[in-house]
Amino acid sequence: MAGAMLAFSGAKVWAKDADARIEVLLDEPLGEISPNIYGQFTEHIGGVIYDGVWVGEGSKIPNDHGIRSQLVAMMKQIHVPVIRWPGGCFADSYDWKDGIGEPSKRPRRTNFWEVDRDAVRLHEKGLQIFESNAFGTNEFVRFCRLTEAQPYLAANLRSLSALDFDRWVEYCNSPAGSTTLAELRANAGYPEPFNVRYWGVGNESWGCGGNFTPEQYASEFRRYTDWIPSYGIDLQLIGSGPNGNDIDWTHRFFEQIYSGHTYNNPSFTGWSVHHYASNLSRGKTTDWIAAKGDALQFDSVDWYELLRECNRIEQIIQDQWSVMGQYDTHHRVKLVVDEYGPWYREGTELDPTHIFGQQVTVRDALATALTLDTFNRNPEKVRMATCAQLINNLNALFLAHEEHFIATPNFHVFAMYAAHQGGQALRTEFSAPDVQYTRDDKPARFWGLNGSASRKGEIVTLTIVNPGLSRTMETQIALRGSTIARVSGTVLASSDMHAHNSFDQPNAVMPATLPVALGGGLINVSIPPASVARLDVFLG
Ligand code: AHR
């Protein structure tokens, strides 16, 4: 790039010595970015609900009816639009009836995760994993209302009947005074319906959600979703999609649904996709445990490997969309990426009870940012996404234990990206030299800069990831189709690739002001290595 001279858009001319250039094309809108792609996921696993969201009504930790107040306040800062609950795999073991009614009378059950390999160490310490059901549907809806998010409930298709699904919808949505379940809801203090729109129909039905074949799952999906009561609500039903980019699962499910005896339920609008960056072995093994990397102990090759694995989401979106379009030719069904993030081996959780708890470094912040940028660039395909998981779990935004509470670098990414919610995505061209490095004695590359842009009125939000560990990218940015009145910048970066926040150092990774300059109609900015940047560009 250096040395090149390129004229464009009338008088503006790229500098000779810039490393990178970005062109935002205001006249090429891609569609509205659904706010719902900035959603969060909460499951009854380890420390997510208990110790994370729920501290209990009698707790000395500040709470609102048992819900951790600090968490609520920070979620409101990032405008969380939707929260998925109660799982995950837990959803297909959960009886929603256990979690309603007088809390002291609710049954205690064995939690799904009791049999997980990670739970073994808890047994060794004499602890058991029981579900108290202190946090149920009412408490979850209260949590959503406090955070101003929409509830997204995952129904149990493996171990409850289709009638139970109907009845959960009835409990949540039947009008005040109309049914016995509406009265039960009223007895708990909620006479008015919850009006839950988003319903997942099972979870990972190819695995923990029933171990179905796609044909079997399609048949169950028809049975569970036909004629469920709607109470005038525009229900959105989300099918349990593939494991990663399993094309076969999607082909065979959609074939069953759309061919022959066609399924015509207009409420089927979402197809769930899960993508975890869990295999960091560089192709050496597919063993679930051995393939994992470490959240804190990694070298520069591991850094790029994690980003490369997360970046596969782009291909997954394109491939799944193309298969779905072969059957659902009008693309009524959109993608719902309701679990994503890095998944490391155990060892960095902040408390032994936090199954799948892991530390979150600046590397994970970049992984989250490039994933959100990918969603932003595909606004017509991806309509919802929920990060796995909100607190004390894989790709957490928060870590908490008892009275201790911190935001991770991921929280700061969500804060920086919140401005994209509801914006008009804009096609944006990134030109930057690839990062080059050596991976197992062979030359390897990863893109040098990438990101996304959106417009709301006269403000353009541009987010950029610089994955390179050593190179500051001297970058010039042009907006085609308007002039720039002013611009400001924010950056999340650290010179230490392992940097993370902890209870002792809660602000080790924090956003800072990024200096930007305007000249000749272009924006000039130095984007530091290993960083996520956001520019707010005011048109006029
Ligand atoms: O997020 C942890 C688990 O990962 C979820 O319960 C499951 O859906 C997935 O396999």
pLDDT, tens only, 309-362: 999 999 999 999 999 999 999 999 999 999 999 999 999 999 988 999 999 999
Rg, Å, the chain Cα set? 23
Considering only 6-10, 203-207, 294-298, 302-306, which range has the smallest mean pLDDT?
A: 6-10
Distance between CA atoms of residues 280 and 120, nearest Å: 24
Q: How far is the CA of 288 from the centre of ligand 1 (A)?
A: 13
Query: Is the pLDDT assigned to residue 10 strictly greater than 60?
Result: no
* Confidence band, pLDDT 50/70/90 cuts, at residue 8: very low
Active site residue 346: no
Whether ligand 1 lies within 6 angstroms of the CB of 139 is answered as: no
Distance between CA atoms of residues 437 and 448, nearest Å: 12
* pLDDT of 273: 98
Residue closest via CA to ligand 1's atom 6 equals: 88
Q: What is the dihedral of CA 489, 492, 497, 498, to 10 degrees?
A: 170
The answer to whether 426 and 498 have CB atoms below 8 angstroms apart is no
Average pLDDT (500-523) is: 97
Residue closest via CA to ligand 1's atom 5 equals: 88
Q: Please state at what angle helix 409-417 crosses helix 362-377, rounded to 10 degrees.
A: 30
Of 23, 131, 170, 204, the catalytic one is 204
CB atoms within 10 A of CB 333: 23
Whether ligand 1 lies within 6 angstroms of the CB of 118 is answered as: no
Residue closest via CA to ligand 1's atom 7 equals: 88
Average pLDDT (498-519) is: 98
* pLDDT of 111: 87
* pLDDT of 100: 97
* pLDDT of 3: 33
Query: Is the pLDDT assigned to residue 516 strictly greater than 70?
Result: yes
* pLDDT of 126: 55
Whether ligand 1 lies within 6 angstroms of the CB of 43 is answered as: yes
Query: Is the pLDDT assigned to residue 129 strictly greater than 90?
Result: no
Percent of the chain with pLDDT over 70: 96
CB atoms within 10 A of CB 399: 29
Whether ligand 1 lies within 6 angstroms of the CB of 390 is answered as: no
When comparing pLDDT for 115 and 253, which is higher?
253
Average pLDDT (199-225) is: 97
| Long-range residue pairs from 277-280, CB within 8 A, at least 24 positions apart, any chain | 277/306, 277/309, 277/310, 277/312, 277/341, 277/342, 277/343, 277/367, 278/309, 278/342, 278/343, 279/309, 280/305, 280/306, 280/309
Single pTM value for the model: 0.96
Positive or negative torsion for Cα 406, 410, 413, 415? negative
Question: pLDDT tens digits, residue range 16-65?
Answer: 789 999 999 999 999 999 999 999 999 999 999 999 999 999 999 999 99
Whether ligand 1 lies within 6 angstroms of the CB of 346 is answered as: no
Instruction: Name, in order, each residue with C-beta under 8 angstroms of 245's C-beta and a sequence gap of 6 or more.
Output: 275, 312, 315, 316, 319, 320
* pLDDT of 402: 96
Q: By C-alpha distance, which of 87, 90, 135, 134 is closest to 112?
A: 90
* pLDDT of 409: 98
Of 139, 339, 346, 349, the catalytic one is 339
Average pLDDT, the chain: 95
3-state secondary structure (DSSP) of residue 519:
strand
* pLDDT of 268: 97
Whether ligand 1 lies within 6 angstroms of the CB of 88 is answered as: yes
Instruction: State the residue for tokens 């008892």.
Output: 402
* pLDDT of 352: 85
Label the pairing between strands 39-41 and 82-85. Answer: parallel
Label the pairing between strands 20-32 and 473-480. Answer: parallel
Active site residue 339: yes
* pLDDT of 110: 87
When comparing pLDDT for 406 and 352, which is higher?
406
When comparing pLDDT for 114 and 509, which is higher?
509
Q: How far is the CA of 261 from the centre of ligand 1 (A)?
A: 32
Query: Is the pLDDT assigned to residue 210 strictly greater than 70?
Result: yes
Query: Is the pLDDT assigned to residue 6 strictly greater than 70?
Result: no
Average pLDDT (379-397) is: 98
Question: pLDDT tens digits, residue range 67-79?
Answer: 999 999 999 999 9
* pLDDT of 11: 45
Question: pLDDT tens digits, residue range 440-461?
Answer: 999 999 999 999 999 999 999 9
Question: In Å, how far from its chain's centre is CA 440?
Answer: 31
CA neighbours closer than 13 Å in the CB half-sphere of residue 444? 16
Atom of ligand 1 nearest to the CA of 43: 6
* Confidence band, pLDDT 50/70/90 cuts, at residue 262: confident
Average pLDDT (481-485) is: 96
C-alpha distance across the termini of the chain, in Å = 29
